[in-house]
Structure 1
């Protein structure tokens, strides 16, 4: 039997801005954002996607575009795509939607991407306050950057964001719990609450009564949640199968934020290699799957996935450890976030001995296929976290050497 040709259900014109696209993109989660396409389970279909910044970042050596970037919009998502079974019946709340990633990659003519430090954002924002950008060029499966010379590695392309639409009840729960967090925190950056600023709602016309209501309720796309969303998991790549809970009729699958490569943690915020890309998918509906395989409570039902068979292979790593002791020498109890921060800072300190600036290393650890682990969570008071860096990505030997 001849292979099936994927059906294109969403095209993007990369010469136009995000709000000018047809079909329209969206940058919020809401159950009432209409679907733009319908696919049948087991059908192979392709979606094109804009990068996370909606085309605002240029392939040049200036950071002016990073400094001017407005984050109130969010990721520009393609979809929603409604899924039906072979009889035409919709996926229904309580089902599981299995989404297989059949193929993905850069768009022809768009074989480049970027990694950036945004002032005030990122895992180490206190250490790296200045806007910084690295442009990566793609050559087949490899990426290299004129801004971080002497490094080349194969990418593990993946959508940083993919998920199903929330129900009305789940959306209300998201907004309530995130607002409570903001209200009880001294920092405004602990959550991104709904805002009408720079909102895109797909085919819903701006200024209509529906637009006003949905814009005021719709959740931002910044965090991953029960529907999947912005999970930034580098293993969601070719051959992977993801099992999403279904909360609305048709599931309404959306996707975006494509990365050519990313390190575990995406520590620099725009830390994966952000790019324009395509995603080819196949879906199946598992009727009643949430009851069979997930928590019956919507607030605890979350996606799970099978890792695909294709990934970069490395045999030699340098692994840096971190423990729950802060920079002032104060002991903390099993603080895994602090332990990981110390591991990353230890790696940055080490690699800075090999001719790289700390900003270059921060961007590199966000974008290369490094691997992070919680290595110990029981040996109180110190949790142990690690970050492992493949040595083969460098054009020099970065291992310690005995002085001659």
Structure 2
């Protein structure tokens, strides 16, 4: 096993650990540990809400999930010799649930969860159709996920970190805040908001001196979206065997990681669409000097995906175009076309007996494939959702006999109001 450089104790909260990570991006957050190019090392990660979500049949914890506290990230990890303009090479050697803990109260201890967030608390990709909070608990058996809330479904998880990235420079942070602030200003009262501005409340800034806390907390960026430094990209193929090339913006690069997922469908469409968990990740790092200029990678990481995902041979694909549910034509709106493809898949699965919420959760957590299939034929963009047929224990293909009817079981817990 590689050296454990960032340990976490499952019995303690994130802010009570021997090493305290962070939940905001800022160049002045001090490095928690230091490694050298060529080093292999292990990092423990907490589930993104630090234990606020429970293994039960209530969705009230999803309704009340404290968004100002996320994501709890392990790091920053400084890499000796890395300087602005370099590329940081990160190999994902291994990743999985909390080691040697297959049961317990924390997500990652033999279980994980998927949530539909209420519109008032973040919403999701289909928040207009699913405005309330729901939760699904998934149990892990080896690499397989099953759920008491969605019967007749099992699949092999593609375990990956939802979030990994390097620290921004002061100039890059300022750029983020300015452009996202300008977007918020176009509709400041929108629910859910157009973006998340800096939020000093609940900011965790590692070992930053208390004298600097107020200033840095007021400037630090939220970790919710992906940006030029990588960040919360939620790429399901970011699995074991992946090699990533991150732009370096500050001395040491200051790499951070968290938001581990047992599985996810392309797009993580329910917002908390993956199977969220805590766990471990083993990494190896190298530095390509002046790599940003040499390869033209001045923003946004490039990566070589791992090859450990399950190989499905049969799919049922659903397509959508950029026309709203009210029949309004939009011009090459690929976001809308993917929404429509997802809604078509949800409608289809309900003919077998699933509730719309169960079908939505399947698309968020199972290893579906989402694709932009046509973006040139005006006025309609076309997106497709590929659903692997083998994850169901009954035949979902259309036939002359009509859809089989399954017992949906207890269904997906919905929050009270």
Match of residue 338 from structure 1: 336
Pair 1:6-2:2 in alignment: yes
Decide whether the 8 Å contact of 1:14 with 1:55 is kept in 2: no
With 188-197 and 350-359 compared, the bigger mean Cα shift is at: 188-197
Match of residue 87 from structure 1: none
Q: Indicate which of 141, 144, 151 corresponds to 1:139.
A: 141
Decide whether the 8 Å contact of 1:294 with 1:302 is kept in 2: no
Shift of 1:22: 2.0
Match of residue 94 from structure 2: 103
Shift of 1:294: 2.2
Q: Distance in 2 between matches of 1:65 and 1:339?
A: 31
Q: Distance in 1 between matches of 2:136 and 2:67?
A: 19
Match of residue 412 from structure 2: none
With 169-178 and 287-296 compared, the bigger mean Cα shift is at: 287-296
Give the 3 Å change call, closer, same or farther, for CA 57–80 of structure 1 in structure 2: same
- In structure 1, runs of 5+ residues without a counterpart are 85-89
SS of residue in 2 equivalent to 1:149: strand
Decide whether the 8 Å contact of 2:291 with 2:297 is kept in 1: no
SS of residue in 2 equivalent to 1:215: helix
Q: CA RMSD in A?
A: 1.1
Deviation per residue, 1:150-198 (Å, 9 max, x gap): 1000000000000000001100100011001101125261111001111
Count of residues in correspondence between the two structures: 389
Match of residue 203 from structure 1: 207
Pair 1:112-2:111 in alignment: yes
Decide whether the 8 Å contact of 2:162 with 2:261 is kept in 1: yes
Shift of 1:17: 1.9
Q: Distance in 2 between matches of 1:185 and 1:91?
A: 40
Match of residue 166 from structure 1: 168
Q: Indicate which of 380, 383, 394 corresponds to 2:381.
A: 383
Q: Distance in 2 between matches of 1:6 and 1:145?
A: 33
Matches within 5 A, 1:171-210: 171-185=173-187, 187=190, 189-205=193-209, 208-210=210-212
Shift of 1:277: 1.0
Deviation per residue, 1:55-101 (Å, 9 max, x gap): 111111111211221111220000100112xxxxx200000000000
- In structure 2, runs of 5+ residues without a counterpart are 102-108, 403-417
TM-score, normalised via structure 1 length: 0.94
Q: Distance in 1 between matches of 2:97 and 2:27?
A: 30
Shift of 1:295: 4.6
Shift of 1:53: 1.0
Decide whether the 8 Å contact of 1:97 with 1:284 is kept in 2: yes
Match of residue 233 from structure 1: 235
Q: Distance in 2 between matches of 1:31 and 1:244?
A: 15
Deviation per residue, 1:209-244 (Å, 9 max, x gap): 210111000000000000000000011100000000
Matches within 5 A, 1:3-402: 5-84=1-80, 90-107=81-98, 108-109=100-101, 110-120=109-119, 121-185=123-187, 187=190, 189-205=193-209, 208-296=210-298, 301-402=299-400
Decide whether the 8 Å contact of 1:18 with 1:55 is kept in 2: no
Decide whether the 8 Å contact of 1:314 with 1:392 is kept in 2: yes
Decide whether the 8 Å contact of 2:22 with 2:204 is kept in 1: yes
TM-score, normalised via structure 2 length: 0.92
Decide whether the 8 Å contact of 1:113 with 1:260 is kept in 2: yes
SS of residue in 1 equivalent to 2:34: strand
Q: Distance in 1 between matches of 2:351 and 2:326?
A: 23
Decide whether the 8 Å contact of 1:92 with 1:247 is kept in 2: yes
